[in-house]
């Protein structure tokens, strides 16, 4: 089936949301002058988003993080001073690697590097030292801006570029400069930026070394993505947005810069703690919560009496990894129809967004394709699958990558293109309303006794059992069946452990007999990466 959401309906919703957002109020002459000056200096880059909000809302709080608060004017002034300092440290740098947790330093580093016209390389903060070394060798940034907790790993990598500290927890082990020291210096202003900058994100690395996904982001794609998000979230200028996903990940990056472009107050923490999130929502009266599914699962585990007074939330958006229909229904029951679920990937960008109404009617859906996105579900012969038929999901959008970064040490797969659409690596289907569903990853498919099984549907069936807070299903080698299904289960606190026969009956009532796991193991926690994706290899 083919779905292309290019009709007028989503644009009308986006325009209506924009008119009500407060962004279109006329700036004062002084503000207009500063906006034009910023756009002229920084061009079509992320630096212009911050500069525009700083021109319009200089005294507004831009970020609340572990260091306190900082206004838009202060953030912009620091970014400009840091850019000048970076230009002095490494004359005419081509690329800047950013290895930071969620704090203002990440935003300053990104804006400063964009002011220099550099390629932005966002590095996963969870990489083991060996993988970090390989990533730095592959991309070779001229400057690496990193939190001091990575000093040992960076030293072990023999990184030869300029090293700058973004966050210091104590007395630094190295004598490298910091964003704070650069912000306090005065250097000549760098040349203005005349074109868009390149952005490289890393894949999750759940199946090996994280691959680099470079892309050049064009203005039209940014506008289409922003329009899709605005039309559904209805966020407004001046809102307070709690952003949980890591900024180095596409979901967290878009959420953070979306907030900055709105002139919102972005609340972020270097490490996720559910109680800190609850305290922040209450203290700062957050209007929106951006969180990966595992964060919402942990929120639902908090006793009811401890998660009161969250009435300020108008919208909660999740994505980056699968969320079960059972969790969606439980969340909606607990907090009302405020949940939005997005689907995308490092390679394809944002693909689809499910509204609260979609999730009430069909909790398993990922919604309809976003503005500017064409989605197809194709059979192995590359013909369009029928409604309800599972096939490979192919995407065409302005954010689709042009290929992985070349790596002399590791073979990287070529992208698969059919009808100008790129293979996402996901299997899924459309319903008769044009809503998209994910049935599993192509490389996660389990062949058991000659039958193809996608773990996702078995996981969803088990997640509907009231005893469990988290579930994963993997394939295990078996001499008779080739592979068998094994389920790993995390129990709710103080919940009796169901018997194996009860669990098999529970799944058999919902799915075909060959999809019933043959083995079950109860564990304290499912291993996940920073964006919430399951690390299946650690369970084998």
Q: Write the secondary structure of 352-375 as one string of H (helix), E (strand) and C (coil).
A: EEECHHHHHHCCCCCCEECCCCEE
The pLDDT score that the predictor gives to residue 1 is: 61
Q: Say whether 445-539 and 43-60+71-216 share the same fold.
A: no
Is pLDDT at 15 greater than 90 in this prediction? no
Rounded to the nearest 10 degrees, what angle do helices 293-301 and 274-284 cross at?
90
pLDDT at 6: 43
Q: Provide the pLDDT for residue 484.
A: 92
Residue 287: pLDDT above 80?
yes
Q: Which of 442, 469, 476, 466 is nearest to 456 (CA)?
A: 442
Mean pLDDT of all residues in 122-151? 93
Q: CA–CA separation, 225 vs 229, rounded Å?
A: 6
Q: Which residue has the tokens 């369970």?
A: 539
**Run of H or E residues at 143:** strand 143-146
Lowest mean pLDDT among 37-51, 67-81, 250-264, 344-358: 344-358
| 290-312 average pLDDT score | 90
| Superfamily, domain 445-539 | ANL, C-terminal domain (3.30.300.30)
Higher pLDDT, 443 or 97: 97
Mean pLDDT of 367-389: 92
Length of the chain: 540
**Mean pLDDT across 76-81:** 98
- List all residues 6 or more positions away from 231 whose beta carbon is below 8 Å from its beta carbon: 10, 11, 13, 14, 16, 17, 371
Looking at the predicted structure, is the pLDDT value of residue 431 above 50?
yes
222 phi and psi, to 5 degrees? -60, -45
Task: Place 172 in a pLDDT band, splitting at 50, 70 and 90.
Answer: low
Q: Write b or e for each residue in 36-51: b if 16 or more Cβ atoms lie within 10 A of its Cβ, otherwise e.
A: eebbebbbbbbbbbbb
Q: Which residue has better confidence, 232 or 6?
A: 232
The DSSP bridge partners found for residue 61 are: 71
Residue 422 pLDDT greater than 70, yes or no: yes
- Record: fold of 43-60+71-216: Rossmann fold (3.40.50)
Residue 4 has pLDDT above 60, yes or no: no
Least confident range of 10-24, 151-165, 244-258: 10-24
pLDDT of residue 216: 72
- At 212, give phi and psi (nearest 5°): -85, 135
pLDDT at 321 over 80: yes
Tell me what the mean pLDDT of segment 65-77 comes to: 98
Mean pLDDT value across the chain: 89
Average pLDDT, stretch 337-360?
A: 90
Maximum average pLDDT range among 12-21, 321-330, 334-343, 449-458: 334-343
Mean pLDDT of 386-401: 86
Domains of the chain, by residue range, sit at 43-60+71-216, 445-539
Alpha-carbon Rg of the chain, whole angstroms? Answer: 23
**What's the pLDDT at 490?**
93
Q: Among the ranges 143-147, 231-235, 302-306, which has the highest mean pLDDT value?
A: 143-147
Percent of the chain scored above 70 by pLDDT?
93
453 pLDDT tier (thresholds 50, 70, 90): confident
The percentage of the chain sitting over the pLDDT mark of 90, rounded to a whole number, equals: 60
* pLDDT tens-place string over residues 462-475: 999 999 999 999 99
Tell whether the model's pLDDT for residue 224 goes beyond 80.
no
Task: Between 17 and 255, name the one with better pLDDT.
Answer: 255
- pLDDT tens digits along 474-488: 999 988 888 999 999
Whole-number pLDDT of residue 486: 94
Residue 70: pLDDT band (50, 70, 90) is very high
């Amino acid at each position: 089936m083919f779905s292309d959401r290019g009709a007028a309906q989503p644009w009308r919703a986006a325009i209506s949301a924009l008119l009500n957002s407060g962004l279109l109020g006329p700036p004062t002459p002084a503000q207009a002058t500063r906006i034009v000056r910023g756009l002229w200096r920084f061009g079509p880059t992320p630096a212009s988003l911050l500069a525009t909000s700083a021109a319009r809302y200089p005294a507004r709080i831009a970020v609340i993080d572990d260091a306190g608060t900082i206004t838009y004017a202060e953030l912009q002034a620091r970014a400009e001073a840091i850019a000048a300092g970076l230009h002095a440290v490494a004359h005419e740098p081509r690329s800047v690697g950013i290895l930071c947790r969620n704090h203002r330093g990440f935003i300053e580093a990104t804006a400063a590097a964009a002011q220099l016209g550099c390629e932005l390389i966002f590095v996963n903060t969870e990489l083991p030292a060996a993988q970090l070394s390989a990533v730095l060798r592959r991309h070779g940034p001229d400057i690496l801006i990193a939190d001091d907790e990575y000093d040992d790993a960076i030293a072990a990598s023999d990184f030869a570029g300029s090293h700058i500290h973004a966050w210091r927890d104590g007395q630094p082990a190295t004598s490298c400069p910091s964003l704070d020291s650069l912000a306090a210096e005065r250097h000549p202003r760098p040349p203005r930026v005349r074109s868009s900058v390149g952005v490289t994100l890393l894949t999750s690395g759940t199946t090996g070394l994280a691959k680099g996904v470079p892309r050049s982001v064009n203005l039209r794609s940014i506008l289409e993505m922003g329009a899709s998000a605005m039309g559904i979230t209805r966020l407004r200028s001046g809102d307070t947005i709690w952003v949980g996903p890591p900024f180095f990940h596409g979901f967290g990056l878009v959420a953070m810069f979306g907030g900055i472009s709105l002139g919102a107050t972005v609340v972020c923490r270097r490490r996720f703690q559910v109680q800190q999130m609850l305290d922040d929502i209450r203290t700062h009266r957050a209007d929106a919560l951006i969180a990966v599914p595992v964060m919402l699962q942990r929120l639902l585990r908090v006793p009811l009496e401890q998660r009161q007074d969250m009435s300020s939330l108008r919208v909660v958006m999740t994505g980056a990894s699968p969320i079960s229909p059972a969790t969606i229904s439980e969340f909606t029951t607990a907090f009302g129809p405020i949940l939005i679920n997005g689907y995308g990937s490092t390679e394809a960008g944002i693909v689809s967004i499910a509204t609260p109404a979609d999730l009430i009617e069909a909790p398993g859906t990922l919604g309809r394709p976003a503005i500017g996105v064409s989605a197809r579900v194709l059979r192995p012969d590359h013909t369009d699958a029928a409604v309800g038929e599972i096939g490979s999901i192919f995407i065409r959008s302005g954010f689709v990558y042009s290929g992985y970064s070349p790596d002399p040490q590791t073979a990287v797969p070529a992208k698969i293109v059919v009808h100008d659409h790129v293979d996402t690596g996901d299997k899924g289907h459309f319903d008769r309303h044009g809503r998209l569903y994910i049935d599993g990853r192509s490389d996660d498919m389990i062949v058991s006794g000659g039958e193809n099984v996608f773990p996702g549907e078995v996981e969803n069936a088990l997640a509907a059992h009231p005893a469990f807070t988290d579930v994963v299903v993997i394939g295990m080698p078996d001499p008779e069946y080739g592979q068998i299904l094994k389920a790993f289960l995390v129990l709710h606190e103080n919940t009796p452990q169901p018997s194996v026969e009860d669990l098999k009956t529970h799944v058999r009532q919902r799915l075909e007999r060959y999809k019933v796991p043959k083995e079950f193991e109860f564990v304290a926690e499912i291993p996940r990466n920073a964006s919430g994706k399951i690390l299946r290899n650690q369970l084998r």
